[in-house]
Amino acid sequence: MLKDMSDENTFEFKLLGTGTSTGVPTISCNCSTCISKDPKDKRLRCSALITYKNKNIIIDTGPDFRQQFLNYGINHLDAVVYTHHHFDHIGGVDDIRGINFTSKKGLPIYLNSETLNNLSRIFSYAFRDYNETGGGIPMVDVNIISEGDFYVEGLKITILPLLHGSLEVLGFRIGNIAYCTDTNYIPDSTLELMQDLDVLILDGLRPKLHRTHFNIEQAIVQANNINAKQTFLTHIAHQVKHSEVENTLPEGINLAYDGLTITGKLL
Ligand SMILES: [Zn+2]
Ligand SMILES: [Zn+2]
Ligand SMILES: [Zn+2]
């Protein structure tokens, strides 16, 4: 656990959600996972919080963004980094207003141009000139990223280009941790950026094959290839009951769960 949050070389990485796009439980489903009492079978939509020198940077603002803020007692936000524009990763954009009310300025967001184009379309009201629009509109300051490294609040983040079906999405590496949700193909050039990882968080949707996500078997092959000391599977569907599937995974590979917190090291 991280003791000194001001340590220059460490950061905290907390998974705020590890569920697939519907969340788990899935509404109206009565399967054994959806009715399970195990807290590890309760999965909000995928998001992660990075805390570095008391600055909070969130990866994705999905439909559970507000609830995740409340659940984990997060009291401020300094930036958002987006993986891609699917609704389970952006649905909470309107709740950025709450951040704006306190900070009285636009929230810096970092995203590729494809994600921006889609955000501007889906949340068109938020991307007008907000200087004259009062408090009803989420205010964001756009920073376009595409490849290589970028810095947020002094923290170096390396972009990990991935494919999610035919959509190019972004994974991120911060120090010894990589976060790759929503993918079913990792290009060789990205694998080169994933050497010597201590922790890999990787899409591992469910046992059955899927067109745009690694299933668990494929995720294990990738994890073995990347060879991080520890891999956690995320974006998990309700076909995965934590207590049943966790025991079937190889050593060094586990299911992620909401609230999982890792101390990262900068290199
Ligand atoms: Zn997703
Ligand atoms: Zn279910
Ligand atoms: Zn997606």
Question: Bridge partners of 156?
Answer: 151
pLDDT (0 to 100) of residue 2: 47
pLDDT (0 to 100) of residue 227: 98
pLDDT (0 to 100) of residue 169: 98
Q: How far is the CA of 162 from the centre of ligand 2 (A)?
A: 28
Q: How far is the CA of 125 from the centre of ligand 3 (A)?
A: 23
Say which CATH number the domain at 100 has.
3.60.15.10
Provide the domain count of the chain.
Answer: 1
Q: Give 22-44 pLDDT, tens digit per residue.
A: 999 999 999 999 999 999 999 99
Q: How far is the CA of 182 from the centre of ligand 1 (A)?
A: 5
Q: How far is the CA of 131 from the centre of ligand 1 (A)?
A: 32
pLDDT tier for residue 224 given thresholds of 50, 70 and 90: very high
Position 4 in a domain: no
Q: How far is the CA of 164 from the centre of ligand 3 (A)?
A: 7
Position 5 in a domain: no
pLDDT (0 to 100) of residue 128: 75
Average pLDDT over residues 212-239: 98
Q: How far is the CA of 197 from the centre of ligand 1 (A)?
A: 23
Position 25 in a domain: yes
Position 252 in a domain: yes
Q: How far is the CA of 46 from the centre of ligand 1 (A)?
A: 7
Average pLDDT over residues 40-64: 98
Residue length, the chain? Answer: 267
Give the chain's mean pLDDT. 95
pLDDT (0 to 100) of residue 8: 85
The rounded distance, in Å, linking the Cα atoms of 70 and 41 is: 19
Q: How far is the CA of 70 from the centre of ligand 1 (A)?
A: 21
Task: List, as own/partner pairs, every contact residues 149-152 make where C-beta atoms lie below 8 angstroms and the sequence separation is at least 24, other chains included.
Answer: 150/110, 152/55, 152/57, 152/78, 152/79, 152/81, 152/108, 152/110
Report field, pTM of the whole predicted structure over 0.85: yes
Position 233 in a domain: yes
Residues less than 5 Å from ion ligand 2, measured at CB: 26, 29, 31, 34, 238
pLDDT (0 to 100) of residue 231: 98
By residue range, what is the domain housing residue 160? 10-265
Q: How far is the CA of 4 from the centre of ligand 1 (A)?
A: 32
Position 38 in a domain: yes
Position 3 in a domain: no
pLDDT (0 to 100) of residue 178: 99
Helix or strand run (H / E) with residue 169: strand 167-174
Instruction: With a cut of 60, say whether residue 133 has pLDDT above it.
Output: no
Position 1 in a domain: no
Average pLDDT over residues 138-151: 96
Closest-lying ligand to the alpha carbon of 36? 2
pLDDT tier for residue 136 given thresholds of 50, 70 and 90: confident
Contacts of 181 (CB under 8 A, 6+ apart): 46, 83, 171, 201, 202, 203, 234, 235
Half-sphere exposure of 119 (CA within 13 A, CB side): 32
Q: How far is the CA of 89 from the centre of ligand 3 (A)?
A: 7
Q: How far is the CA of 29 from the centre of ligand 2 (A)?
A: 5
Average pLDDT over residues 200-205: 98
Q: How far is the CA of 83 from the centre of ligand 1 (A)?
A: 9
Beta-strand pair 79-81/55-59 = parallel
pLDDT (0 to 100) of residue 149: 98
Q: How far is the CA of 134 from the centre of ligand 1 (A)?
A: 32
